[in-house]
Chain A
């Protein structure tokens, strides 16, 4: 190895060591756990892929997967659509106080999801909170947003609230780098604002939209904090297998089924990494 080569490893070494410890080793360790089974009587025995076949035919795991899949299909397009509209509005230069809009809509990103969920729990609570107040004042009986049939919508609302501004900024950054010459050409052609949006802005946003989309997909698959916190405010609405992450957590902590929990976590973690990796291949092409 040349001297320069050795120096490069010295700079990247510390990062790689921790990366190996918290990214690679847990994957390896849960892969190891996932091929065993532990019983109170009989101890630990090698079971091959049995945990995997069990997971694939486990209705609770499928229900959790379906739920986050549904969440992703509905919440992500709504959130990104809103983010896109706001980004276009701010970029159009037609808003009064555009800078204020940008910061104020982004602000919920600085709120921890635990706090955001607690706030939502209090705000939407039917006992006290706005829905309760409205029902009382107007003599209505609006459905309980924290009840079993509305809880997923409420979680979607919380996640949208937290991340709409973040996604708006990603898209807005994409609009900022559009070459001014394109706008000049459009103005010479007498193009309307809508035509400019369709022909110039939206095509330029393809990359940033993919980035925002993948982050949202990954976030949906990993849904945990919001339902976990809501569980204490709405005890009957969140099941022990509400999302795959909650299922893995419950299996480890309440069920003591460590091997099966590792299998579920590994399946979800690795599929998340694959999605992320495909995205990297697509967007990083030609960076090196």
Chain B
């Protein structure tokens, strides 16, 4: 009897249910089906796109033609958008992660005057999406002459209050005060200790924060939309939006096949990153939501 009780609570031994799997499978179909549609549609020519059933292949297999068209259309501007996006992500998300790590560590390890006030002000920003202040930021940047430059997109993405909160949590838990004390006794500077001792211990947290900043920057649309006029500076999201809009302008080129193929190419990198780094985002969400 006792044995049965322990078996019941060890979750791995719970009896699996086909019915529950099928019911939950409906949710799976809901989330995955549009992605299947996207992959199938990227293999179709524009006529097949309009003329054949959405959830199966068309008459021609045009995937490679579509990819090559996407990269050569309008003198290859799509490749330019890819590079812009990568640049905004590396500088914006990378910079945001570094700033959050420094500040989170600073708040966790130094009891300085004004620390509580800093914490209170910054935490107020956690749930505020960058879009909330987009129009005011635009008006201010326009006055400063920053609009229509890469900085107009990068600077707002450099701040991640949520990242700071996660780095504060990780610093408190993962970096023992003792090793910092002994480094001080040995005469090491605080920044040297941070980069040599603390940063390696913070690595899992850093990857998580970097991952979330990466998603926010890669996916951002509102900020680039209002800040940028020059198509050579567009990130992928804004570029695809502008291609799609062409269909609405008089005499505009209808390029739905390129919009679809470009969309597929846009989501592949993040999807791959997420699949490879599962461990990190799952633990990051846990740290961000459960801590109370």
Contacts and interface: CB of A to CB of B under 8 A. Distances in A.
Contacts of B18: 96
Contacts of A9: 106, 112, 114
Contacts of A173: 282, 285-286, 289-290
Contacts of A55: none
Contacts of B6: 184
Contacts, number: 324
Nearest to B17: A94
A275 to B, nearest CB: 7
Contacts of A39: none
B204 interface: no
Interface in A93-134: 93-97, 101, 103-116, 118-120, 122-123, 127-130, 133
Contact of B222 (A165, A224, A275): A224
B290 A177 contact: yes
Contacts of B219: 111-114
Contact of B110 (A5, A110, A133, A272): A5
B126 interface: yes
B122 to A, nearest CB: 6
A122 to B, nearest CB: 7
A12 B289 contact: no
B111 to A, nearest CB: 7
Contact of A107 (B51, B164, B274, B291): B274
Contact of B125 (A19, A97, A115, A129): A19
Given A82-B27, A112-B221, A249 B226 contact: yes
A255 to B, nearest CB: 12
B11 interface: yes
A63 to B, nearest CB: 19
B21 A95 contact: yes
Given A26-B136, A107-B271, A277 B124 contact: yes
Given A89-B20, A110-B215, A122-B256, A29 B136 contact: yes
Contact of A14 (B102, B143, B215, B266): B102
Interface in A166-192: 169-170, 173-174, 176-177, 180, 183-184, 186-188
Contacts of B222: 224-225, 228, 245
A273 interface: yes
B110 A4 contact: yes
B27 A12 contact: no
B108 to A, nearest CB: 10
B274 A112 contact: no
Contact of B16 (A94, A127, A215): A94
Nearest to B169: A287
Contacts of A279: 127
B28 A94 contact: no
B70 to A, nearest CB: 14
A229 B241 contact: yes
A130 B273 CA distance: 30
Interface stretch (B33-41, B61-69, B72-80): B33-41
Best-surrounded residue of A10, A22, A214 (most CB of chain B within 10 A): A22
Nearest to A183: B9
A185 B175 CA distance: 35
B133 A26 contact: yes
A232 B221 contact: no
Which 5 pairs between the two chains have the least Cβ-Cβ distance? A11-B106, A8-B112, A8-B110, A276-B127, A15-B103
Given A169-B285, A262-B136, 16 more contacts: A16-B103, A29-B140, A89-B24, A101-B27, A107-B31, A110-B273, A111-B35, A111-B267, A112-B219, A112-B236, A161-B34, A232-B248, A261-B139, A269-B128, A272-B127, A287-B292
11 contacts: A12-B103, A15-B122, A23-B133, A101-B28, A111-B267, A122-B260, A174-B290, A224-B222, A245-B131, A258-B139, A269-B128
